Structures are given as structure tokens and as C-alpha cells.
Amino acid sequence: MSAEQNLSASLRQVTVIEIGDQSGDYCAMMLAGLGAKVIKIEPLEGAPSRKLGPFATVDRDPESSLFFWRYGLNKKSLALDLDHQESGAILTRLAAHADIVLLSGQYLAIRRQLELWRGIAADRPRLILCTITPFGLDGPYRDFTATDLTHLALGGIMAMCGYDAGKDGHYDTPPIAPAMWHSYHIAGEYASIAIMAALHFRDLTGEGQSIDLSINEAVNTCTELSMPIYIHNGEVVRRQTARHAFVNPSPLRLPTSSDGVRMLAAVSPFPREIKSFVRLADECGIEHQLTSAEFAQTEKQNPAAAADYRAELVERIVSSRPAQQSFLRAQHHGLPWAPIRRPEENLEDPHFISRHTFASIDHPELARELSYPGTVASDGAEPHMRYTRRAPRLGGHTHQILLEAGFTPAEVEDLSARKIILDRS
């Protein structure tokens, strides 16, 4: 399929109205990367995510929020006083040109907006309405407030992340959270998938849908095998350093390379993997007994001792050379080893570069381009998820969006004069 066909098969004809806080930013950004026209409707003082640091300027100017820059890619901004009595009529006119409405935030914060949009959807049956809230639109926790950390704690992920127990089996370190905003990424991906399914359903039936997404439930589904293991076996998984949580602890294998890089490197006792490991050890000039009759006997009589011997060989191989060299050699033999990188180290990785993983976005105010995480899918020539435009300035597209929605220049000027909108076009 050509790049042009890929683009035509994306969301180029879809318009999204986004209203809310940072919990919906990632979902809308994904839709924008797939080609949708995303209109971020912000209050006159700016969306809540503009206030999140770090900032590119020392004065913490909301226009320099790195959070907003990252999650606002490809979007357009319309600044509107959502509390004004005329805002409902303005949103209704905008909805006539929209396919999807994405509302996000605490339930009590979006409840009034939800009533408005449900009324609009009743008159526009093709409209898809998606809400992202902490606990969903019903249930006993509906009105509760939450943060990213709250979700990671309640959903169970935090209990599965951390360090090994001590030799006595007791933990002397607390659970830890994974990457910041992890819960919003999980919810955003689920929401975007649900929206894509709703678009497909609308193509088949002509009907829109209402999607009620609970961040807490989305997080809970990402706890690996912990739930089925507990439900079916009555056993509780235990967190492990740099390994998946499991009922029984597995050995920690994090050897250090000659250039001081930790690596995830181990060998499973499967014939194919053992054969690959033997070839790697021979290639690296590491003497071993893996093919001897004595080791075969040890493997049968004392599997733990055999595993320790393989682990010792792994450490010798890794410590004898730089991490990147061990990584490439192991992968050449089909062994899933990898160095533990800092995220920024991937910027120079040739594989990421060849797949257009990072997008270069022009920032005129800085007189230079900045790199952003970009696509995760490509056809080999062009990325399926394309980011080309920096996050919008507050109200930077208000004039354009209203004109495209059928407002006259005089109407836009009047709304601006009465401070119902902020027009910085």
C-alpha cells in the first residue's frame, strides 16, 4: 500500500472535539497523529494541562509547558468560556461539523457538559461521544476524585512494581509507580481503540455510540496474570526487581557490561535457546561445559545448579565486552537480550531512526526543531502516525475554526469583544 493510500485510509476526514484535562490528552493526540482534525476546546485561561511542568521558560509560562507541547501535537485550539450561557449554542454549532466528542476529567467536573452533549447527540445520531473519567459514569465510586498515582495504586499495578523481597521473604521496600501518567496512557489507548471500533460500527450502520471509559478499570486489566492466578488458583503474585511479578520468585539476572551498562540477559532451559547460547559462547571465546556429558547429568539431577552455571557464563560474556556488542551478538543468535537504556538514548538508535519513530517539530519561538516521540507503526516508507505541527497556542485557531463551522466574521468579532472567546489567530 502506498503512503498516499495509507493516509487516505486514516482519519483525515474525521473531526474530533476534545474538552477536558490531561487524562484525555493522550487519546486525542493519538487520533490527531492518525490524521484526525482535533479541536481542543479550552477555557479562556487555558487547559489544565498547560499548567503542568516542566516548562521551557523560567517564568513557567503556560505556553511553554513541555507536557502540553508533547500531548498537544497536531491539535488546534479554540478558547471558549464554557461557563457562559451562550457556550452551549456555540458548541452545538461546532458539533454539526464533528464526528467525535471526547470529554475527560473528574466526573463532577464534566457532568454538566455531559448533559449538554447527550442532548446534542440525541439530535445527531451519527455523533460518537466518549468520556474518560476516573471511575466511569455510574457505580459507587463515580463521584470520587483520583490522580494518576491513585489509579496505579487502586488498579493494582503499583503493587506489582518494585524490588525483590529480602532473603527472609519479607519486603523492606515499598511498592513503586511505573512511568508518570502511565494510567492516562493505558486509558487513552483503550479509548482510542474503542473510538476506532465505534467509527467502524458507524460506517456499517450509520449509528454513533456512547463510550464510557473508566481509567480505574483500564488500569486493572493491565495487571498481567495476577487476576487469573488469584481467581483460579487463590495465589498472590509477588513483585520482583526488573522481572514480571509472579507467585514464586525467579533469580535476578542483571549482569553488567564492560562499559558499565546493566543488561537483561538470561538463558532459558529450552533446547533451541541452549543451542543458540552455545554458539554465542563459542563465538565469544568463553570456555564452557554446556555440551559435556557431565553438564547433561547436572541438568537432570540438579536443575538449579545447571541454571546457576548458565547464569555465570552469561555474566562472563556480558562483562567481557560493551553492552551494544553483546546485544547485537546475542540477537544474531536469536537470544532476546537487551541493554537497559535510558529513554533518551533511543534518540540515536539506528532502528528508531529508520522507522521514523521520532518526529522533528518546528518551534519558531525557539528558532529550532525539537524531537518528539512519534509513530509506533509504519508501512516501511511512511509512518502511519504522523506528527508535523507543534502544540497550539491558546486560542490560536479560534477564528479559523469558527469560520469553518459557519460563523460569520462579524459573529466571531462580537464573541471576541464580549470575551466569550479568546481569538489569537
CATH number of domain containing 36:
3.40.50.10540
Summarised one tens digit per residue, pLDDT across range 306-325 is 999 999 999 999 999 999 99
Domain membership flag for residue 91: yes
Whether 263 contacts 326, CB under 8 Å: yes
Tell which wins on pLDDT, 215 or 374: 215
Domain membership flag for residue 230: no
- Mean pLDDT estimate for the chain: 93
User: Is there a single domain that holds both residue 22 and residue 149?
Assistant: yes
Percent of the chain at pLDDT exceeding 90: 87
Whether 72 contacts 33, CB under 8 Å: no
Domain membership flag for residue 403: yes
Q: What integer is the mean pLDDT of 193-204?
A: 96
pLDDT value at position 6?
Answer: 45
Whether the per-residue pLDDT at 120 is higher than 70: the answer is: yes
Domain count, the chain: 2
User: Is there a single domain that holds both residue 407 and residue 291?
Assistant: no
Whether 208 contacts 125, CB under 8 Å: yes
Domain membership flag for residue 303: yes
Summarised one tens digit per residue, pLDDT across range 330-349 is 999 999 999 999 999 999 99
pLDDT value at position 1?
Answer: 43
Domain membership flag for residue 246: no
Q: What integer is the mean pLDDT of 420-425?
A: 93
Which range has the worst mean pLDDT, 6-20, 312-326, 366-380?
6-20
Cα(117)–Cα(134) distance, integer angstroms? 19
Question: Kind of pairing, strands 243-246 and 238-240?
Answer: antiparallel
pTM to 2 decimal places: 0.92
User: Is there a single domain that holds both residue 130 and residue 37?
Assistant: yes
Summarised one tens digit per residue, pLDDT across range 212-239 is 999 999 999 999 999 999 999 999 999 9
Residue 191 confidence class, pLDDT cut points 50, 70, 90? very high
User: Is there a single domain that holds both residue 127 and residue 169?
Assistant: yes
Q: What integer is the mean pLDDT of 356-369?
A: 92
Cα–Cα nearest to 101, from 132, 131, 75, 129 = 129
Q: What integer is the mean pLDDT of 122-146?
A: 97
User: Is there a single domain that holds both residue 403 and residue 295?
Assistant: no
Domain boundary among 314, 339, 364: 339
Domain membership flag for residue 186: yes
User: Is there a single domain that holds both residue 190 and residue 330?
Assistant: no
Cα(91)–Cα(80) distance, integer angstroms? 9
Q: How far apart are the first and last CA of the chain?
A: 37
Cα–Cα nearest to 315, from 253, 374, 249, 403 = 253
Domain membership flag for residue 240: no
Cα–Cα nearest to 203, from 131, 126, 130, 100 = 126
Domain membership flag for residue 250: no
Which range has the worst mean pLDDT, 51-55, 315-319, 379-383?
379-383
Place of cell 457505580: 139
Tell me whether residue 271 is exposed, middle or buried, using C-beta atoms within 10 angstroms of its C-beta: 0 to 12, 13 to 18, 19 or more: exposed
User: Is there a single domain that holds both residue 281 and residue 216?
Assistant: no
User: Is there a single domain that holds both residue 106 and residue 207?
Assistant: yes
Domain boundary among 290, 315, 339: 339
User: Is there a single domain that holds both residue 48 and residue 158?
Assistant: yes
Summarised one tens digit per residue, pLDDT across range 239-287 is 999 999 999 988 888 999 999 999 999 998 888 999 999 999 999 999 9
Dihedral of CA atoms 364, 370, 375, 379 in degrees, nearest 10, equals 80
User: Is there a single domain that holds both residue 204 and residue 275?
Assistant: no
User: Is there a single domain that holds both residue 140 and residue 267?
Assistant: no
What is the span of the domain harbouring residue 171?
3-222+354-422
User: Is there a single domain that holds both residue 64 and residue 200?
Assistant: yes
Residue 188 confidence class, pLDDT cut points 50, 70, 90? very high
Helix residue ranges per DSSP H, 34-138: 66-71, 87-95, 107-123
Cα(359)–Cα(377) distance, integer angstroms? 13
Cα–Cα nearest to 32, from 283, 359, 330, 387 = 387
Cα(26)–Cα(12) distance, integer angstroms? 18
Cα(232)–Cα(172) distance, integer angstroms? 29
Cα(399)–Cα(408) distance, integer angstroms? 10
Domain boundary among 289, 314, 339: 339
